[in-house]
Amino acid sequence: MKLVRYGEIGSEKPGLIDDEGKIRDLSAHIDDINGHMLSDASLARLRSLDPASLPLIEDDQRFGACVNGVGKFMCIGLNYSDHAAETGAEIPAHPILFMKATSAITGPDDKVMIPRNSQATDWEVELGVVIGTACKYVTPDQALDYVAGYCVVNDVSERDFQAKLTGQWTKGKSCDTFGPIGPWLVTRDEIDDPQNLDMTLDVNGERRQTGNTKTMIFSIAECISHLSQLMTLHPGDVISTGTPPGVGLGMKPEPVYLKEGDVMDVWIDGLGQQRQTVGQDA
């Protein structure tokens, strides 16, 4: 299934995308798409519904973040060998974890706002993993059983805030609008191999990032297992699993960053496409 949240900010309704790419309303069956309805049993109940029996929604709809009520927004840094190389970083011995404020979460096509005093706002296409069942101390071979589904994430980053303000990367990752998620949550049964998904990001129609999840240093299962040794992962938690090469920070002969009016197109095979126009905070 492809699950969506559609409607104006703060008033999103749950829906699914049918076989013809149309939105079908799920409001009669669930209140929202959040951790409370992401268990295997809940998803099986939704899967048993006939999409044709659900109200058809007009195409011209805003999509909100595909999951609501995110408890933890966790990100894995330097998780692609080719991205680590472009930044001059050493390959980490363990998954690098940083947190992104949940207040950064926004819809997949909402504006991304350059924060005040920013000179280095950057892009990062990433595979998002949404936890469906609480897990703790799981092994890598068990880990994917706890996944509800996958989605596109743009891990927008302010590099000066991230590296020069002293402290954790979280400072440069958590600005308002820096966490577009969606357009939809694709349940794990629809993704044959999450470790072999092509991904791209364009800025103003020019290809910046091209990658595939097979070049991750730590697999999705390894990341989930590692994090579960440190904390309980709860339904609705999101893990953003790292970015391939081509970020603005790594461009030669010097970095190139986002400016007001730029347009980002962010795509992962089977998971849909985001498009964000860049604005400027006052």
Alpha helices in 98-205 (DSSP H): 140-143, 159-164, 170-173
Is residue 46 located within the same domain as residue 181? no
**92 and 48 both lie in a single domain:** no
What integer pLDDT is reported at residue 117 of this predicted model?
Answer: 94
Residue with tokens 């363990």, as numbered in its chain: 94
Q: Which residues contact 83 (CB under 8 A, 6 or more apart)?
A: 211, 242, 243, 244, 245, 247, 250
Note down the domain range covering 48.
Answer: 2-57
How far apart CA 181 and CA 145 sit, in angstroms, is 22
Per-residue pLDDT of the chain (282 residues; tens, 9 = 90+): 999 999 999 999 999 999 999 999 999 999 999 999 999 999 999 999 999 999 999 989 999 999 999 999 999 999 998 877 777 778 889 999 999 999 999 999 999 999 999 999 999 999 999 999 999 999 999 999 999 999 999 999 999 999 899 888 999 999 999 999 999 999 999 999 999 999 999 999 999 999 999 999 999 999 999 999 999 999 999 999 999 999 999 999 999 999 999 999 999 999 999 999 999 998
What is residue 224's three-state secondary structure?
helix
Tally of domains in the chain:
2
In a domain, 216, yes or no: yes
> Is residue 198 domain-shared with residue 83, that is, in the same domain?
yes
Same domain, 229 and 266: yes
Residues 171 and 127 in one domain: yes
Burial of 8 (0-12, 13-18, 19+ CB in 10 A): exposed
pLDDT at 88 (0 to 100): 77
CB within 8 Å of 29: residues ≥ 6 apart: 45, 46, 49
Q: Is residue 86 part of a domain?
A: yes
Q: At a CB cut-off of 8 Å and minimum separation 6, what does 213 contact?
A: 127, 194, 195, 196, 197, 199, 220, 241
- Which pLDDT value is given to residue 82? 80
- What predicted TM-score, i.e. pTM, was given to this entire model? 0.96
